[in-house]
Amino acid sequence: MAGPDPDPDPAPDARRPARLRKVPPAGWTALAASAAFALLAVWVTLAPAGPLPWDSGPHAWALGHRPPVALSVARAVTDTGTGAVPYALAVLAGLYAGRTARQRLTAVAAFVLCLTAGLTVRRGVMYLLARPRPPAADWAVHATDWAFPSGHATAGALTAGILLAALRLRGSGRPPRAAVALVVLWGAAVGLSRVYLGVHWPSDVVGGWLFATSWLALGALAYGLGAATRD
């Protein structure tokens, strides 16, 4: 008669090293997004002074599909990803996230700091890589500075992440799907508008999204570590 298995196969989580089990999801997200951004940045740097292989198709499509109404919409959307709008949304997100005056003040400060620091670091990376924009003849709006990573795409994604964080912090459960979808669609539309208006290659926008994802994940990781320390 066979006895019980003296060494049953441990659960998958138990087979993991202890250090790996302690890494929160935000840490893995930050690592993956940072690695993807670094690889894309190297590709952009080593490529000839022009588009990557997958940049030309969307750029050409945008140039061939520009009715006046669509251009007006794209310009309106792109304007929400720069200037005071992202900061105003970050302040509103902080006011919404907190339940007391102190919580609101802390959330506003944290969200504005996250946005400001992220855009500042992004600007430094942009000058370091110094990637040229598409030809100026293709532009449907005025643009300045270098191309990678896109500032509008980064700002839109950072702000969208901040808004989602506010919804999560204020709600007792999952945020409303309609609100989440609206925020995500807006953040994506800001980045895509830059390609449609001809001032960025698609890889510039993807770079902005990856950079923002990494930055937001690092912020979430810092928040989680701070909460654990307070507990």
Domain ranges of the chain: 70-224
Per-residue CA distances from 196 to 64, 200, 218 (Å): 10, 8, 30
Q: What is the mean pLDDT of residues 155-166?
A: 97
For 7-21, 62-76, 145-159, 208-222, which range has the lowest pLDDT when averaged over its residues?
7-21
Give the C-alpha separation, 223 to 110, whole Å: 10
- The structure's pTM equals 0.88
Q: Higher pLDDT residue, 139 or 4?
A: 139
Q: What is the mean pLDDT of the chain?
A: 90
pLDDT tens-digit profile of 68-106? 999 999 999 999 999 999 999 999 999 999 999 999 999
Residue 223 has pLDDT above 90, yes or no: no
DSSP state for residue 18 in the 8-state scheme: H
What band does 165 get if pLDDT is binned at 50, 70 and 90? very high
Which tokens in the block code for residue 120?
């500042």
Lowest mean pLDDT among 6-10, 127-131, 173-177, 207-211: 6-10
User: How far out from the chain centre does Cα 46 lie?
Assistant: 24
pLDDT of 173 higher than 90: no
Q: Give the least confident one: 21-35, 76-90, 185-199.
A: 21-35
| Range from 20-34, 41-55, 140-154, 165-179 that averages highest in pLDDT | 140-154
Fill in the DSSP letter of residue 137.
Answer: G
Second-level CATH architecture of 70-224: Up-down Bundle (1.20)
